Amino acid sequence: MILVTGGAGFIGANFVLDWLAGPNEPLVNLDKLTYAGNMESLAALRDDSRHVFVKGDIGDGSLVARLLGQYQPRAVINFAAESHVDRSISSPEDFIQTNIVGTFRLLEAVRAYWGGLTGIAKDEFRFLHVSTDEVYGSLAPAAPAFTEAHSYQPNSPYSASKAASDHLVRAYHHTYGLPVLTTNCSNNYGPFHFPEKLIPLMIVNALAGKPLPVYGDGMQVRDWLYVRDHCSAIRRVLEAGKAGEVYNVGGWNEKPNIDIVNIVCDLLDELQPRPDGKRYREQITYIKDRPGHDRRYAIDARKIQHELGWKPAETFETGIRKTVVWYLANPQWVQHVQSGAYKDWVDTHYAGAAAS
pTM, rounded to two decimals: 0.92
pLDDT in tens, 50-93: 999 999 999 999 999 999 999 999 999 999 988 777 788 888 89
Q: Annotated catalytic residue: which of 133, 223, 229, 294?
A: 133
- What residue segments make up the domains of the chain, in order of their start? 2-189+226-252+293-315+342-355
CA distance 109 to 303: 30
- Answer yes or no: 35 catalytic: no
Residue 179: per-residue pLDDT: 98
- Answer yes or no: 134 catalytic: yes
Q: Strand order of the sheet with strand 246-249?
A: 51-55, 27-31, 2-5, 75-78, 126-132, 180-185, 246-249
| Non-local CB neighbours of 141 within 8 Å, separated by 6+ positions | 221, 295, 296
Q: Is 111 exposed, middle or buried (0-12, 13-18, 19+ CB in 10 A)?
A: middle
pLDDT in tens, 99-140: 999 999 999 999 999 999 999 999 999 999 999 999 999 999
User: Where are any strands of DSSP class E within 6-64?
Assistant: 27-31, 51-55
User: Where are any strands of DSSP class E within the chain?
Assistant: 2-5, 27-31, 51-55, 75-78, 126-132, 180-185, 187-189, 212-215, 221-226, 246-249, 254-256, 284-287
Q: Topology of domain 2-189+226-252+293-315+342-355, per CATH?
A: Rossmann fold (3.40.50)
Closest CA to 5 of 172, 242, 169, 246: 169
Residue 337: per-residue pLDDT: 81
- Answer yes or no: 57 catalytic: no
To 5 degrees, how large is the angle CA 39–CA 165–CA 222?
Answer: 75
Q: Annotate 236-283 with DSSP letters as a single string.
A: HHHHHPPTT-EEEE--S-EEEHHHHHHHHHHHHHHHS--TTS--GGGG
Q: Annotated catalytic residue: which of 60, 134, 229, 254?
A: 134
Instruction: Indicate if the pLDDT at residue 196 is higher than 90.
Output: no
Q: Annotated catalytic residue: which of 113, 136, 158, 280?
A: 158
